[in-house]
Structure 1
Amino acid sequence: MTGDSTLGGQQPRKHYGITSSISLAFPREIDHIYTQKLTEAMKPFGVFEGEDELILGKLNSFVKEWIAEISESKNLPPSAVANVGGKIFTFGSYRLGVHTKGADIDALCVAPRHVERTDFFSSFFEKLKRHDEIKDLRAVEDAFVPVIKFKFDGIEIDLLFARLALQSIPDNLDLRGDSLLRNLDIRCIRSLNGCRVTDEILYLVPNKENFRLTLRAIKLWAKRRGIYSNMLGFLGGVSWAMLVARTCQLYPNAVAATLVHKFFLVFSKWEWPNPVLLKQPEDSNLNLPVWDPRVNPSDRYHLMPIITPAYPQQNSTYNIVFNWPFLLTICQFFQIFCFKVSLHYIVLTASASTEDNHLEWIGLVESKIRVLVGNLERNEYITLAHVNPQSFPGSKENHNENEFVSMWFIGISFKKLDNSDCVNIDLTYDIQSFTDTVYRQASNINMLKDGMTIEATHVKKKQLHHYLPPELVQRKKKVKKKSLVCCSLDGSQLDSSRDTDIGTPFSSPTPVSKPCQPVSTPEDR
C-alpha cells in the first residue's frame, strides 16, 4: 500500500499500488449474487479442493531432524543443536491460497549458515530416499535454480534450498526483509525469490479473499484456453497472479465477479510494453541485477513486462512469445482449448527408450518449444502459432511399443493471400534450427542418450483423430473451400497426393522439391 493523499481538507484516502484506484465503489447486492454464481460455475472443475497440510508437516519435520543431525556432525554444542531450527516455506499457488487437490507444491527449505548446499543434495537427498512415502526422487543440482523433485504420498513437490546468514532459523521467520539477502550467493537469492514475491503479492492486495477467488477464476480460464505455461511462452502462475493483484488494487472494494470483468476491461486496453507494477521498485543497495530498461538495453525489448514486487525486481514474462490480444480471446469463458481453431498442426514427438530417460528428455524438449513457436511466428506467411500446453502420450499404432513417447500440438494459422495461387511455404529451417538447439543443449549437459529423438509431422485438422482422443477432435462436415495456401515442412506440397492419412513427416532438413510458385520477396512486390 502506498502513501495517503488529502483532497480539500477531507480525510486522507488510502490507495494501493503505484496509482490511485479507478473506483472505490462498494459491491451491490447483484454483484454478490454474480459472485456466488461464479463460485458455483467453478465447483465442477475442482478448483476449491486441496489441502496438503499433513504432507508439508511431515516434510517440515524431516528438515528439522536433518538440520539437527548435520549440526551435530559439525560439532555444534548441544544447546545450539536444540535451537538450530530450519523450516519449509511454500510459494506459488499453495502459498497464495489457490492450490487445487493433487496439484504440484513449490516449497523452499531454509537452513542456517553452517548447512551447505552440498549437504542438501547429499545427506538430505539420502534421508528422503530412505522414506517409503517418497517416490520418483531426483536431484537437479546444476539447474538455474537447483531443485530436488519427488512425489510425497502421490503429490509432486519441487523443493529448493536457501542458506541464510543466521545462526538459527526460527519458526516465525519472515522472508520479506531485504536485509536477509546480504552476503548470500546468487543461487540462494534465486531460491528465496519465489517465496518473497508470493508474500509481497499477498501483502499488496486490499482483500485477500476477493483476490483468491478472482485468481481461481482467471487461472481456470487460462488453463482451459491453453494459455497457462511460462515454460511454453505464455504467462505462468505468478504473472497471472500479479495481473489479478493489480486489478484488485484498482478496484479495492469490488467482489470477485466484478474483478473478473474489470480484469479483462483493464488489460484489453493496456498499452504494452508499459510495465505492470504492484509497487514502486526499491533499491536495497545490494548490487543485484534488476529489471530497469533505463540501464539494461535488453529490457527495452520485452513485449509484456510484468514486474515482480520483491527485490531484486524481475520481469516474470521475459520469455513470452505470444501477443496479448490473442491471450485475451475469451470465447465461452471456461471452454477448453479447441483443436478446431487451426486447419494445420505440427505434431512434435519426443521419444526415449526408458522411462527415466523419457522424463529427462521431455523436460528439455518442452523447455525449448517456445523457441520453435517464436521461429514459426517470425515466418512472414504465419499469423499465429499456438502450442497446446498439455502433452499427450504417443499412440501405439504410430510408435514402437518399447518407446516412451510424448506429443505436443502446435496449431498454425496462415496469412490470407490476395490471390488463389498456391504458394509453397517451407518450414524446414524453422524446425531444423529448433531440433539442432535441443540436441546441442542435450549434448552439452551430457543428457543425450541412445533412443532420444524428436520428430515433427504436419497434420491437417481432419487427421488429428489418429493422434488424439475422439472427445477432443469431434469432426464436423464443412463446405469445402478452395485452398489458398500450401505449406511444407520438407519442401513438398502438403496437400498433394503423397500425403498419408495420418500426416506428412518432417524427415529431411533439405527441401526435396521446388515450390509450386516462388515465394515473392518484399522487393518483388
Structure 2
Amino acid sequence: MSAHKVSCVEKVSSLLDQYAALPNPNFGLLGPHLQTLGIFETTESTQIRNRALQLVEKAIQIGWHVPQDFILQSFGSYSLEVHTKNSDIDLLVVGNLPRKDFFNHVSKTFKSTADVQFLRLVKDAMVPIIKLIVLDIPIDLIYAQVHNSLKKKQISWTKLNLSDMDIPDARALSGYIDCITIKNLIPNIDKWRVLFQAVKYWAKKKGIYGNKLCYLGGFGWMILTTRICQMLPNASVENLFYNFFKFYAIWDWSKVPLTVLINAKPIEFNMGPGDCFVVVTVTSPHRNSARNVTQSTKKIIINEFQNAANYLENNQFAKIWEPVPFFSKYPSYLEIVCEAENLKDFLKWIGYLESRFVSLITEMEQVTKNRLITHIYPASFQSLETIQHPHSCTFFIGLEVIPDPNGEQARFSINEPIEKFQLLCYGWEGFSKSMLIQIKRTKREKIQNLNMKVVQVELLKVKAAPVQSDLAPSPSPSPSPSDATGAKKKFRTIQTAL
C-alpha cells in the first residue's frame, strides 16, 4: 500500500475513533423512524410479490421439448431483505442452454402469460436482460450459461472461475455472487439492513441515487454501508449511521478505491486515469461499480456526506430527511425535453437517453475544465399545468460556474457538447422519426414557478399493452443522411455561452 493510502486510512480510522458516538443521544431510533415513512411493504404486497415470483418460476420451466434444469436465484435488495414497496426484483437464471435459446423460449412463454403486463428483451446491454412487470412488480431477469451440474447444493458459487466464462455470463453471475459474499462479510445483518435502508432513503431525498444518472446505484450503497459495519461491528445502528457520513465525507475518493474488507484487508484495485470515484465490486475480476460518477456528481455526493454529518453534529436531525432544494439551488438549468408519438417509442427513448446522460455531463465538464457543476436530477418530470404532448417528459440539469481562485471571468460555451449529444441520440439505431429531443437553458426564476410531477415510468410500462408490442423488437435501421437532417430540425440547442 502506498504512503498516501496509509495516511488516508489512518486519518479516517482516527476520526472514527474520535467520533464513535453521536454528539446527542436524543437522535432517536432509526428502525422505528423508518417504519413511519411508509416505505416498507404491507403483508398483502409481500404476498403479491411472492405470487409474481412463482409465476416467473413456472414460466421458465414449461414448454420445453426436452425437460431442462434451471436454478432461479434472486439477488440485490430483495435477496438481502432490504427492498421497499416500490423496489424491483433482480433474478438470475442459471442453466446449461445457450442464452439465445433460453431468451427466445421464455420470451414466448411470458408473452402468453396473462399476468405479465410488460415484457422487453434488451439484447445489447452489458448483461442481456428481460425486463418484466408481473402483477405490477418490476422484475429484471438475467441468464448465465454454466457447464457444471445444476444441482443447487453441489454448486460452490463463490468458487466458480468466472474468468473461464463468456463475459456476459461472468457478469450475470458476479452480481449474485457479490450478494452472497457481502452477506457473509457483514458482522450483524439486522443492523446493516436498517443502516442500508436509512442511507438509501436519505440518498433518494438528496437526489443522489441512481447508477444510470451518474450517482451510486443500490450495489454501490451496499458496499459503502458494509464497509462501515465491518469497521464498527459493535456500534449501534444510530452510531453506524452517523459514522457513515463522517467516514465518507473525508475519504480521498480521487486516489483511494473504496472496498469491503476481506480477511481484514481491502481488495487490491488499480485505479484508471478516468476513475474519479471508485467503489470496487467484490467478485473477481473486480470492477468499479461507480464508473458513471463524474467529477461534478462526485462533488455533489461528497457535499451531501458533509452536510449530513454536520446536521447530526448540530442536532438538526430533521434536515437529514429534507429533500434537496434542487429547483432553487442553481442559477440556471438545462431543460431536456423527451417526446415520442407513441408510448412504446417514448419508453424506449427515455431508456436510451438515461443511458447516455453520463456522456453529456462528462463532455460539459471537459470543455469547461471542471469549472462547471452539472447536477442532473435522477428523475424526469411532467407539467401539471401546461398542455404537453401526452408522451413527453423533461429532465433537468442544474448548472453553476465554480468561481476562479484568481478572479478571472469564466469564458466557455457548452453548445458543442450539447450538439454532440444530440448527434449521438439521433444516430442511435433505435431512433425513429416519432422521437424528439429539445434542449434549452432556463433561469432559476422560471424553473421555480413550474408545477410538475415526477414521471412514474413503471406505471407507464404497465399501460404499454399489449405485451407483444415490446417483445424482442427488431432494431430500427440507422437514419439516412436525409432522415438525420429532418431529425435535426426538431432539435433546439443553446446558442448562448455561460
Normalization by structure 2: what TM-score? 0.77
* Mapped pair 1:436 → 2:409: no
The match for 2:492 among 481, 502, 507 is: 507
How much has 1:415 moved relative to structure 2? 3.1
- Say whether the 8 Å CA contact 2:227–2:261 is kept in structure 1: no
How much has 1:159 moved relative to structure 2? 0.6
**Identity of counterpart residues, as a percentage?**
25
How much has 1:326 moved relative to structure 2? 2.9
Query: 2:139 & 2:396 partners in 1: Cα distance?
Result: 27
Name the aligned partner's letter for residue 450 of structure 1: K
Partner of 1:397: 386
- Say whether the 8 Å CA contact 1:64–1:85 is kept in structure 2: no
- Say whether the 8 Å CA contact 2:110–2:116 is kept in structure 1: yes
Partner of 1:106: 90
With a CA cutoff of 8 Å and minimum separation of 6, indicate the structure with the bigger relative contact order. Answer: 2
* Mapped pair 1:385 → 2:374: yes
Query: 1:466 & 1:86 partners in 2: Cα distance?
Result: 54
Greater helix fraction, Structure 1 or Structure 2: 2
Name the aligned partner's letter for residue 187 of structure 1: P
1:318 partner SS: coil
2:321 partner SS: coil
Partner of 1:354: 342
Query: 2:145 & 2:201 partners in 1: Cα distance?
Result: 35
**Matches for 1:136-215 after TM superposition, within 5 Å:** 136-170=118-152, 172=153, 176-179=157-160, 181=162, 183-215=164-196
The match for 1:88 among 57, 72, 79 is: 72
Partner of 1:455: 438
Deviations along 1:129-174, one digit per CA (max 9) or x if unpaired, are 111110111111232111111111001111111122134343x466
Gaps of 5+ in 1: 1-18, 75-80, 282-289, 472-504, 520-525
How much has 1:464 moved relative to structure 2? 1.6
How much has 1:393 moved relative to structure 2? 2.5
Deviations along 1:6-39, one digit per CA (max 9) or x if unpaired, are xxxxxxxxxxxxx9996699999x96x7552x23
Deviations along 1:63-110, one digit per CA (max 9) or x if unpaired, are 35644643xx24xxxxxx5xx642321112112211011321111122
Name the aligned partner's letter for residue 302 of structure 1: D
Deviations along 1:382-441, one digit per CA (max 9) or x if unpaired, are 441111101112567364x4x51121111111234699999775321121122222223x
1:370 partner SS: helix
**Matches for 1:56-71 after TM superposition, within 5 Å:** 56=50, 59-60=53-54, 62-63=56-57, 66-67=60-61, 69-70=63-64
Name the aligned partner's letter for residue 314 of structure 1: R
Partner of 1:374: 362
* Mapped pair 1:309 → 2:282: yes
- Say whether the 8 Å CA contact 2:438–2:493 is kept in structure 1: no
User: Could you say if the C-alpha distance between residues 189 and 60 of structure 1 is closer, same or farther in structure 2, counting changes exceeding 3 Å?
Assistant: farther
Partner of 2:352: 364
User: Could you say if the C-alpha distance between residues 25 and 69 of structure 1 is closer, same or farther in structure 2, counting changes exceeding 3 Å?
Assistant: farther
Higher gyration radius (CA): 1
The match for 2:32 among 24, 31, 40 is: 40
Partner of 1:407: 394
Name the aligned partner's letter for residue 236 of structure 1: G
- Say whether the 8 Å CA contact 1:27–1:253 is kept in structure 2: no
- Say whether the 8 Å CA contact 1:20–1:250 is kept in structure 2: no
How much has 1:370 moved relative to structure 2? 1.8
The match for 1:264 among 215, 239, 245 is: 245
How much has 1:53 moved relative to structure 2? 5.8
User: Could you say if the C-alpha distance between residues 174 and 209 of structure 1 is closer, same or farther in structure 2, counting changes exceeding 3 Å?
Assistant: farther
Query: 1:24 & 1:249 partners in 2: Cα distance?
Result: 17
- Say whether the 8 Å CA contact 1:23–1:250 is kept in structure 2: no
* Mapped pair 1:323 → 2:307: no
- Say whether the 8 Å CA contact 2:129–2:141 is kept in structure 1: yes
Name the aligned partner's letter for residue 452 of structure 2: P
Query: 2:15 & 2:159 partners in 1: Cα distance?
Result: 28
1:305 partner SS: coil
How much has 1:307 moved relative to structure 2? 1.0
- Say whether the 8 Å CA contact 1:149–1:156 is kept in structure 2: yes
Partner of 1:522: none
Query: 2:90 & 2:370 partners in 1: Cα distance?
Result: 41
Deviations along 1:265-284, one digit per CA (max 9) or x if unpaired, are 11112122211121359xxx
- Say whether the 8 Å CA contact 2:144–2:173 is kept in structure 1: yes
Partner of 2:41: 49
* Mapped pair 1:124 → 2:124: no
User: Could you say if the C-alpha distance between residues 156 and 356 of structure 1 is closer, same or farther in structure 2, counting changes exceeding 3 Å?
Assistant: same
**Matches for 1:213-362 after TM superposition, within 5 Å:** 213-272=194-253, 273-280=255-262, 292-293=269-270, 299-321=272-294, 322-324=297-299, 325-328=302-305, 329-330=307-308, 332-338=319-325, 339-362=327-350
How much has 1:42 moved relative to structure 2? 2.4
User: Could you say if the C-alpha distance between residues 416 and 135 of structure 1 is closer, same or farther in structure 2, counting changes exceeding 3 Å?
Assistant: same
User: Could you say if the C-alpha distance between residues 129 and 207 of structure 1 is closer, same or farther in structure 2, counting changes exceeding 3 Å?
Assistant: same
RMSD (CA atoms):
3.5
Normalization by structure 1: what TM-score? 0.73
User: Could you say if the C-alpha distance between residues 60 and 116 of structure 1 is closer, same or farther in structure 2, counting changes exceeding 3 Å?
Assistant: farther
Query: 1:150 & 1:264 partners in 2: Cα distance?
Result: 36
Query: 1:42 & 1:393 partners in 2: Cα distance?
Result: 29
- Say whether the 8 Å CA contact 1:25–1:254 is kept in structure 2: no
Query: 1:274 & 1:456 partners in 2: Cα distance?
Result: 37
- Say whether the 8 Å CA contact 1:47–1:216 is kept in structure 2: no
Name the aligned partner's letter for residue 91 of structure 1: F
